[in-house]
Amino acid sequence: MQYACNTDGMNAKRVDVQIRGMPAGLRDRLRRRSDRKGVSMSQYVIEVLKDDLSRPTLDEWWEEVRKQPPLNLRTPAADAIRAARREEGVED
């Protein structure tokens, strides 16, 4: 299951995206974070989008999980979790 963002050809054609109606507070947070990283707001937003798009959405992940054959566990899952917690010294 590969969901990595394919960056091949991303630099071939660049387009501008305008965000309308962005709250000033959100814009200010973006500015501060981009300043701390030493990059432009555009570069920072591209990094955030690439990071987000490199992971599947919950729906995409769940769709992939449903395709897998069911597991036949020898031990009920709740018992296995309790045993693991006991090993870590965590109480039920």
Region label for 38, one of left (φ > 0), alpha (ψ between -120 and 50) or beta (otherwise):
left
- Provide the domain count of the chain: 1
| 57 within domain boundaries | yes
Tell me the pLDDT tens digit for each residue of 23-73. 999 999 999 999 999 999 999 999 999 999 999 999 999 999 999 998 888
pTM: 0.59
In a domain? residue 6: no
Copy the structure tokens of residue 16. 């501008």
Asked, for residue 49, whether it belongs to a domain, the answer is yes
**Does residue 37 lie within any of the structural domains?**
yes
Domain, as residue range, for 59 = 24-88
* Angstrom distance (rounded) from CA 7 to CA 71: 35
The one-character DSSP state at 71 is P
Question: 41: which residues sit within 8 A by CB, 6+ positions away?
Answer: 30, 31, 34
Amino acid, res. 49: L
